[in-house]
Structure 1
Amino acid sequence: MVNLYLSSGGCVIRSTYATSDGTVLYKAETPYRIGSRTTSILSLLPSDIPNNSTDGTAAGGPGRYAALAHIEWKGLSAPNTIRYGGQEHDAKVFLKKEGWSWRGRHRIFTAADGKQYQWIMGMYRPRLVTFDDKQETVALFHRRRLGLLTRNKGPPYLEVMPEGEDMLDLIVVTFIYIEKVRKDRERASRSSGGGG
């Protein structure tokens, strides 16, 4: 099992995603601006990949990242796009809508092995399950614990079960997309007096 702890208070598009030992596996970077913008998702390069830099740093040194995906948030002007795996995808096709919840429609995607998975947009947190009769949990987001009702405080984190570890990159990319969409819907609901 892998837990990825967010450095932000829950802003998934501007955060690092680190393991319990502090190793940052992913970074999500998004500029602050109005209108369309792009989230860049970077992943930590394995230490055995040679460093081609000329700045004198050691080959395979810590903290080297490569672009994993880009999400273009186009607002109402056009559909959002996800660039991942060397291809550009319309987000509505890459993450097909299915079902309904207060925080948006559930999203289905197909992994490289041909299996389908569904992000269930829960009231407080999304959950990734296999898209079959079993609906086995593959990943689960835990919101930040403030310690108001319990003594345990803690940052938000994405818990990925062993069944999802071989597609961790895809889980992180789809999670960042759906959680931003869910949070936007949550904010819109609050500002319109819709509760939540």
Structure 2
Amino acid sequence: MYAHYVSGVLRRMKRSRLTVEQRQELARRHAVGEDVNTLSKAYQVTIRQVYRVLADEKGDTRGRARVSKSVSFRAPTGEIDAFLASARGVGITGSSQAFRALVRMALGLFELFPNQLEDFNRSVWLIGKEGQLLNQLAKSVHKGKLRLTDEDRILLSKCIDVNKRLYDELRDILDEAKTRRGYALSQLSRAKGQGDG
């Protein structure tokens, strides 16, 4: 039953994800007089999402805090088509997202592609579970149920610290990737992780 619920939510979310181009087109159509109900049906998103996109495009939300700049350049059509095809291969459907990912990688930033999100999310969840097990072990030591040498206690403490730092860093990368691509999967993935346990 839970798997059915998750797949239903994912299907709805997949339908409602808009590319940068679609968001701009939606705002243009609204500016020339199309009402929010029509736009909601046309883009298969909720009316609330239409209002959110319109606010984003006007710069009325925190999501627009980072200033963006439109860039154009010339390149052979074959090269552009090949690049966009390879981007589609990793789950990037919009050309703006594809070129932004390229810019981020050229700057040396870590880029998490849409087709990697589920596997990466699962890995983060597993690292979090390992942290819980390490904490349970530390509690057993603290309560005297398990005896460790001083060296082993220090090692256990270091393992807990490293696990916590790794989990926090990976969680930040995952949350940033989801936010950047318009994913709202954080709560769903956490709920899915709890359901797996």
Q: TM-score, normalised by structure 1?
A: 0.26
Whose radius of gyration is greater, 1 or 2?
A: 2
Q: Which has the higher helix share?
A: 2
Q: Which has the higher strand share?
A: 1
Q: TM-score, normalised by structure 2?
A: 0.26
